[in-house]
Amino acid sequence: MSERNEQFLFKPNVSGAVGVCLAYPNTYPVAMANLGYQAVFGLFSTLPGLLCERWFLDTAADGTFEHRRSPADFDILAFSLSFESDYPNIVRMLDAAGIPARAQDRRASRRDWPLLMAGGPATFLNPEPIAPFFDLFLIGEAEEMVVEAFDGAERWAGIGFELLRERLSSVEGAYRPDLYEPVYGGAGESGDLIELRVAEGASERVKRRYLSDLDSAPVTTAVVAPDSVFGNQYLVEASRGCEWGCRFCAAGFMYRPVRHRSHEGVTRDALAGLELAKTIGLVGAEMASHPGLATTCERVRAQGGRVSPSSLKADVISPRLAAALASSGARSVTVAPEAGSERMRRVINKNLSEAEILRAADLLVGDGVESLKTYFMCALPTETEDDLQGIVDIVAKMRDRMIGHGRARGRVGRIKVSVNPFVPKPWTPFQWDPMEDVGGAQKKIARLKRGFGRMANVEMESESPREAYLQTLLSRGDRRAADIVEALARGEDRWWQKLQSMRRGEHQGVSVDPDVFVHRTYPNDALFPWDFIDHHIDKSYLWLERRRALAERETEPCDVATCHTCGAC
């Protein structure tokens, strides 16, 4: 056991030739709930030659979590980045440690600063908004790449910055921003990206790494952390990616091809986890499609535990799965229709009818699940007033079923409706599309709140359209967005007021209008800042999917055994 009553499920190295400070740019409870961060911490802590300590936002000024060491004293400062909205926290943490945020400023300094490295899902979508801060990125999934990168590290004592960067840069998936120079054209500082100049010897494209066999490196809770967001759960990764091809979903494209762990392996890890927690959290983009999920739930239930899967696709929920979830004591289950009308679900390729959604609700609450959580988006491309009203209408029908079953049991649950504004993401068919203006999105959310305000047993939560604006900006920006990240991280002004001044061209040090990255519709032949990453997906396929969206045509789910259309298989 360690500080905060943690329990390590692996034996970390107590010494090493290379010191790694592994940072997460958010608070300890958020960081330790992130299974990816835990997995990388386990890797860095057990590879030969490495000594790893952690660093979090809420204790940034105190030094590392383990021994209060300054991050500046390590050979490597590595950030694990899952969410773009955390980018300003990178600068805040570096400032707290007295480390210059910009790589060029560190190189110009006489001090030997650690090599700043980053990885994680946000970076292999688009690392460019934070590229000026880092010396190196590892693009893709970590398991094989990190092992290859640090092969022989036990012999690297006193290696020095340049040789260390050279060694790490040689691994497939490594991206050194200093070897790539973006060129902008057009009028003023808001001109388009027209070219990416690549230094001699560097690859034109950086291949995103992925692990083909998830059973070869199973990811489960590595540190039991009671103070984390999911502190009462033992987490087991069950899959990566998703076969359904929803056109708004970055995870469904950047993790292609979809991979499932064997249900035998998932069940084995879940049962082992019951020794540490009564609730097993199954992690994956969409869990109902996982082969053998019902069996896993039944086995866990038989041992006195319960399974909490991430979002379930309504039409894949079987009577057996619904019964297994309910009988294990699952009080709430998440279903994600994403859109209210069947027309809009065709646009986003949800492959889901109203009848199938209501059937899922009937199965779940009929078998004893008390409450439902539903996810929807608003301000989607081509959305109409009827599409928006469809969200209210379908929730009302789900509520009717929940109340009917609940009254029969003598206990009526609730429906929690989560509605978030659409955020166009890189590597999706909607990467060419703009986010709706903040005012318009606010009006749509207000309309939905009025609609749900008249329904008993229904509560609605929503992400602020301002937050969605920031997320779009930081996911679609190029290197010029680093000025915005730095400005948002510093000073006393509130971040939205700062962005407003940037949009008016009044903020000193920021010359590009953030709206360029948020509210613009891109042409088919646009050069995106992230195009240099090889995600094994043909850009022409994404454009074709966008055309199918506008034509309200659905695409069949991925068949990784026979289909080669998108280029990932």
Amino acid at 244: W
Look at residue 187 in the predicted model and tell me its pLDDT: 56
- The list of the chain residues with pLDDT below 70 reads 1-3, 187-190
Residue with tokens 């998936």: 173
Q: Nearest-CA neighbor of 84 among 491, 518, 378, 437?
A: 518
Residue with tokens 């948020």: 518
- Kindly list the domain boundaries of the chain, sorted by start residue: 3-207, 232-465
- How would you classify residue 53: left for phi > 0, otherwise alpha for psi between -120 and 50, otherwise beta? beta
d(C-alpha 445, C-alpha 448), whole Å: 5
Look at residue 559 in the predicted model and tell me its pLDDT: 76
d(C-alpha 70, C-alpha 43), whole Å: 21
Tell me the CA distances in angstroms from 93 to 99, 100, 262, 508, 557, one per residue in order.
9, 10, 39, 22, 42
Helix (H) or strand (E) holding 296: helix 293-302
Look at residue 189 in the predicted model and tell me its pLDDT: 57
Contact 21, 55 (CB under 8 A): yes
The pLDDT tens digits for 22-37 are 999 999 999 999 999 9
Contact 182, 532 (CB under 8 A): no
- Domain 232-465 coded CATH 3.20.20.70: yes
d(C-alpha 479, C-alpha 244), whole Å: 32
Amino acid at 225: A
pTM of this prediction exceeds 0.85: yes
Q: Token digits for 292?
A: 């053998």
Q: Nearest-CA neighbor of 449 among 392, 384, 398?
A: 392
Percent of the chain with pLDDT over 90: 82
Pick the CATH number of 3-207 from 2.60.40, 1.20.1050, 3.40.50, 2.40.30: 3.40.50
